[in-house]
């Protein structure tokens, strides 16, 4: 831990009410976890640093694009061990908020606190664009949708039934991969609460020339819903003041970094989001773990 970061952390802890009103909120992929030999892991420095903070009474919150079932299946047990208590979670780009909770039988489940599903108009507008692509011959379109009912998980739709086997191999986290006409897709999307839709076009660039207004990938949530709005919704429910909190992320999706007191940018990407009080940068998740240890040490000194 370099001296500049150490001094900045001390200044934040001493000038804020981090110990009593704050929390640590972190993104997952690329921030608090990384991939090693095809497996997603939490570095020991991160897990130990967060556990140390949690043992001191500091809330630890997750804020991720991942859906609850995937968080649970990927590393829910390891994360739950950090808190040994219900673990607050902002999921699906802020559209689903709740806790990971261990049941008496040992299984970990998601318990919803709040949800902000897409409105019917949002879905209808999205489908206009989807219809234009499909009717224009862009069949390398894949739509991922995430129902409010977390137990359903991730559903993938493709307009090309012949691609189902290929997609099943590629996206193993999916609960189901389906293919039917656009009217049936519309019916199913409107028949349930859907929190987020992710559109992905895997077509070559030359095939997309006529559709340059269309993003190759796009996360769709209700208007005004993102990781920052989800962070605020969860913080309000838990009695946390984000201006006294530490937040860590690594991509432009991590909008909550602009709503916390101390914003930690993990990695080399230049992010526009600055903390309300301070902004720091660390190289990777390992260095982020070192920052957490230092933060825990400073908090212990403050309350001792």
pLDDT per residue as tens digits for the range 228-281: 999 999 999 999 999 999 999 999 999 999 999 999 999 999 999 999 999 999
Report helix, strand or coil for 29: strand
- Cα–Cα nearest to 114, from 263, 196, 237, 267: 237
Question: In this prediction, what percent of the chain has a pLDDT beyond 70?
Answer: 93
- pLDDT at residue 85, rounded to an integer: 85
Q: For the chain, give the mean pLDDT.
A: 91
Rounded Cα distance, 36 and 102, in Å: 27
- CATH hierarchy code of domain 3-115+225-303: 3.40.50.1000
pLDDT in tens, 147-156: 999 999 999 9
Q: Residues of CATH 3.30.1240 domain(s) within the chain?
A: 120-220
What does the alpha-carbon distance between residue 177 and residue 202 come to, in Å, rounded to a whole number?
16
**Would you state the pLDDT for residue 210?**
45
Pair 100, 87: CB distance under 8 Å: yes
| Helix (H/G/I), strand (E/B), else coil: 234 | helix
For tokens 């993104």, what's the residue? 27
HSE, side-chain direction, 13 A CA sphere, residue 51: 13
The pLDDT value recorded for residue 209 is 45
Q: Could you give the CA distance from residue 291 to residue 297 in angstroms, rounded to a whole number?
A: 10
Side-by-side strand order, sheet with 217-220:
176-178, 155-157, 141-147, 194-201, 217-220
Each residue of 126-149: pLDDT tens digit? 999 999 989 988 889 999 999 999
CB 83 within 8 A of CB 54: yes
pLDDT digits (tens, 9 = 90+) for 166-205: 999 999 999 999 999 999 999 999 999 999 999 998 765 5
Which residues are registered as beta bridge partners of 35?
Answer: 40
* Residue 195, φ and ψ in degrees, nearest 5: -85, -40
Nearest by Cα to 89 from 107, 106, 114: 114
Structure tokens belonging to residue 184: 């049936």
Specify the CATH class of 120-220 in words: alpha beta
Residue 56, SS3?
Answer: coil
Let me know how long the chain is. Answer: 304
Classify residue 106 as left (phi > 0), alpha (psi -120 to 50) or beta: left
Strand partners, 249: 265
């Amino acid at each position: 831990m370099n001296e500049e970061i150490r001094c900045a952390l001390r200044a934040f802890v001493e000038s804020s009410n981090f110990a009593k009103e704050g929390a640590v909120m972190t993104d997952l992929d690329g921030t608090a976890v990384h991939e090693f030999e095809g497996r997603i892991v939490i570095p020991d420095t991160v897990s130990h640093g967060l556990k140390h903070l949690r043992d001191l009474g500091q809330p630890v919150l997750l804020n991720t694009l991942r859906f609850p079932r995937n968080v649970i299946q990927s590393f829910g047990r390891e994360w739950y061990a950090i808190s040994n208590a219900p673990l607050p979670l902002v999921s699906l780009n802020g559209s689903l908020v709740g806790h990971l909770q261990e049941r008496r039988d040992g299984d970990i489940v998601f318990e919803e606190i709040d949800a902000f599903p897409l409105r019917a108009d949002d879905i209808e507008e999205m489908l206009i664009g989807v219809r234009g692509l499909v009717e224009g011959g862009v069949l390398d379109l894949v739509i991922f949708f995430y129902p409010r009912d977390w137990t359903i998980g991730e559903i993938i739709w493709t307009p090309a039934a012949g691609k189902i086997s290929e997609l099943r191999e590629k996206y193993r986290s999916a609960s189901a991969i389906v293919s039917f006409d656009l009217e049936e897709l519309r019916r199913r999307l409107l028949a349930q609460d859907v929190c987020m839709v992710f559109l992905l076009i895997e077509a070559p660039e030359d095939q997309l020339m006529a559709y340059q207004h269309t993003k190759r990938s796009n996360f769709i949530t209700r208007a005004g819903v993102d990781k920052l709005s989800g962070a605020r919704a969860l913080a309000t429910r838990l009695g946390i003041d984000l201006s006294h909190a530490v937040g860590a992320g690594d991509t432009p999706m991590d909008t909550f970094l602009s709503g916390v007191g101390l914003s930690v940018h993990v990695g080399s990407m230049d992010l526009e989001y600055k903390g309300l009080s301070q902004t720091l940068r660390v190289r990777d998740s390992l260095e982020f773990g070192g920052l957490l240890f230092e933060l825990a040490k400073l908090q212990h000194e403050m309350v001792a």
